[in-house]
Amino acid sequence: MPSNGTRASAIVLATVIVSGTLPAHAVTPEEAFKAGCGGCHSSDKNILREIPRGPDEDRRAWILKFMASHPNEMDSVKSQIVEYLVAKSATAKSWWQFW
């Protein structure tokens, strides 16, 4: 039988986890990508490979320029898609650029 203190922190932790998974917007960045690009791109692998390395603002500029002349099946979530690609291109490169 856990002490009251243990049980209380378990409840707090569960609350944090639940509220953390609730989307801030109607769609998460990943859902935005699937809605806007997923119809033609079943995976983001090739897309992430195409995005050049560099600081966030350089990648964001490249992504915006590319998307200006590329189809998007849900333009209303364009800003979430851009954020998704900026974030994912940062982590996707960071672990293998040293190898």
CB 80 within 8 A of CB 27: yes
Closer by beta carbon to ligand HEC, 1 or else 68: 68
Q: How far is the CB of 70 from ligand HEC (least distance, A)?
A: 5
Q: How far is the CB of 9 from ligand HEC (least distance, A)?
A: 42
Indicate which single residue of 7, 25, 41, 53 sits in contact with ligand HEC (rule: CB under 6 A): 41
Indicate which single residue of 71, 76, 79, 94 sits in contact with ligand HEC (rule: CB under 6 A): 71
The reply to whether 77 sits near ligand HEC by the rule CB under 6 A is no
Measured distance CA(17)–CA(91) in Å, rounded: 23
C-alpha distances (whole Å) from 73 to each of 36, 70, 85 are 4, 10, 16
Indicate which single residue of 30, 64, 67, 83 sits in contact with ligand HEC (rule: CB under 6 A): 67
Q: What are phi and psi of 8, to 5 degrees?
A: -65, -40
Indicate which single residue of 9, 39, 42, 61 sits in contact with ligand HEC (rule: CB under 6 A): 39
Q: What is the largest CA-CA distance in the chain?
A: 62
